[in-house]
Chains A and B, each alone.
Chain A
């Protein structure tokens, strides 16, 4: 291959990356607009824009809408859509990270126990606060879930250690074992708990989403910092795709890279799961879908997956809210029903291309 051809291909690839990024951003914004405009209570889209514009622009807009309508748009829909976008971005990025670390296309953010730990933590918190009412508060459930998720992954990491290294195989086995343990314990505690089952079940199905601005203000810094760290580690992730020995010879501090990536990915996943419950398929399907269109370079994959995850989850949330209004479908159900067929279609089109 001539030198000129290779550089030409490289430049072309770079240009396409930026294009994909812009397209991704546009999709996120578009779906976001639709999500805010639609809901179980019908509000004319123009009114929605004017309500939001009234908050941003300095020239006062005379309100011709009821205060309750403004409350619906600004205090219920807008923060919810933002939280869903952040959650989707977090799950997709950490999906990319896990798939890179474990070199396994089936890896998703819940592989080493985040979801099971979060569920168990949430259940324990609900049961604990029945006995100690002082624990009751708006954030007791998310805190329980967050602590549960982190504790589970910490235990898995310690269990998976062999000497001074943490081979991905032992990590995987320990993760699966501990996830199963956490799930069984959750079921046991649920059985004995009696009351408050509904809240916990809703949490586990992914149909409990915190409302209000507090979850957004808490999760977006975590997500932003985590994402930046992952981007810094993206090149190491690329090199880790060869096996670890090769990566070491190419200059990657393998154990340290694994540690940083797993901790970061777990943190952002735990934060996302704490406020929205464990939502499946996003972390698994979005990275693959993005890979099929934009290639496997993690430096490109991470930001595009984040955008893709945000769009996908916002779309799923929109569907869950309007399909059976005034009720809502559990988000976890919608992501599975919507995501799987979409992914199968993409897979068919790329059958002959080696994409991973």
Chain B
């Protein structure tokens, strides 16, 4: 009997890891799937909470946190999505979603420069750091006797995002809501992958991050979460063989690669479809000739938060519109 159970668990693991699961794994499995497992001690909502955050640091709270400060927009979105939004007392400068969060007091975040005075004045009982928060910042906060938990993995994958959400749920006492959210995100994720598995083409995609110099724009390379998403939805990132995650590429390389789809992740900074069509030398590119240039909300695809699967769907629809009629 024991062997049968182990066999079934392994099967579920294997199927979900492949990503094309026809059978959606049972909701309880997400905690076992990624390498960075968070140890949970409390099941009940009023006792002490003890977790190990993604950096391996043990964090213990005497009671449910009632005054939470978020150091990154992804943490803010997760907190609000799992129902802990009413307990958030301070957010960073880049938080812009959900709308209720934008009216909360700001505590900085330009270049890892947080306003320590503001954070201390808000008297938080929990500060949630992200994967890119500098260790100096965390050390400073702890030297001011604040509890800091890093609930966001430095290297992002879909599994780490699901883990982050569950971890945040555990440390705020919203475990059930977090598990529900992750389950529905997984379901959505699996259905997207199922849909794109029917694709017959693999369009070449050029993802633009910054084009201040239009002859030397920045794109995404290997080891980049966005680049992985392009691959997941059945597209081919033309800079998949670059040497860094954020390569600065040349116009010649773009023209030589001849992408069929251009996705503008810098749409929020004033780049429009028309401005791309007008760029000198770009008119020989297939994507420009067929007008397959699409702006995208960068927050959806780069923020390791609850909207990440929406972002994946947005990318999928741009790369394979024919599958999402």
Q: Is the CB of B115 within 8 A of A327?
A: yes
A300 at the interface (CB under 8 A from B): no
- Closest-CB distance, A208 to chain B (whole angstroms): 7
The 27 sampled A-B contact pairs (Cβ below 8 Å) are A41-B120, A66-B123, A71-B144, A138-B136, A138-B139, A138-B140, A194-B244, A194-B245, A195-B132, A195-B154, A198-B112, A198-B113, A199-B111, A202-B110, A202-B112, A202-B113, A207-B111, A207-B113, A210-B140, A211-B116, A211-B143, A326-B106, A327-B93, A327-B108, A328-B108, A328-B113, A328-B115
Among A72-80, A255-263, A310-318, the one that faces the other chain is: A72-80
In whole angstroms, what is the CA distance A210 to B121 when docked?
A: 19
Which A-B residue pairs are the 4 nearest by beta carbons?
A198-B111, A202-B111, A138-B139, A41-B121
For B111, the chain A residues whose CB sits under 8 A away are 197-199, 201-202, 207
- Closest-CB distance, A112 to chain B (whole angstroms): 28
For A192, the chain B residues whose CB sits under 8 A away are 244
Q: Is the CB of B118 within 8 A of A40?
A: yes
Which residues 132-182 of A sit at the B interface, judged by CB distance below 8 A?
136-138, 140-141
- Closest-CB distance, A83 to chain B (whole angstroms): 13
- Closest-CB distance, B36 to chain A (whole angstroms): 14
A76-B139 in contact given A201-B111, A211-B116, A326-B118 (Cβ < 8 Å): no
In whole angstroms, what is the CA distance A323 to B110 when docked?
A: 16
Number of interface residues of A (CB under 8 A): 34
Q: State the B residues within 8 Å of A (CB).
A: 93, 106-108, 110-113, 115-118, 120-121, 123, 132, 134-136, 139-140, 143-145, 154, 244-246, 248
A196 interface neighbour in B123, B134, B244, B248, Cβ under 8 Å = B134
For B120, the chain A residues whose CB sits under 8 A away are 41, 68, 71-72, 76
For A32, the chain B residues whose CB sits under 8 A away are none
Q: Number of residue pairs across A and B with beta carbons under 8 Å?
A: 82
A141 interface neighbour in B106, B110, B136, Cβ under 8 Å = B136
A212 at the interface (CB under 8 A from B): yes
For A136, the chain B residues whose CB sits under 8 A away are 135
Q: Is the CB of A199 within 8 A of B123?
A: no
Q: Is the CB of A199 within 8 A of B112?
A: yes
A191 at the interface (CB under 8 A from B): yes
For B117, the chain A residues whose CB sits under 8 A away are 39-41, 72, 76-77, 326
Q: Is the CB of B136 within 8 A of A327?
A: no
Q: Is the CB of A138 within 8 A of B118?
A: no
Which residues 307-337 of A sit at the B interface, judged by CB distance below 8 A?
326-328
Q: Is the CB of B140 within 8 A of A72?
A: no
For B107, the chain A residues whose CB sits under 8 A away are 326
Which residues 34-90 of A sit at the B interface, judged by CB distance below 8 A?
39-41, 66, 68-69, 71-72, 75-77
- Closest-CB distance, A213 to chain B (whole angstroms): 9
A138-B115 in contact given A71-B145, A75-B143, A326-B106 (Cβ < 8 Å): no
Q: Is the CB of A326 within 8 A of B115?
A: yes
In whole angstroms, what is the CA distance A151 to B272 when docked?
A: 48
Q: Is the CB of A326 within 8 A of B108?
A: yes
B135 interface neighbour in A40, A138, A198, Cβ under 8 Å = A138
In whole angstroms, what is the CA distance A327 to B93 when docked?
A: 10
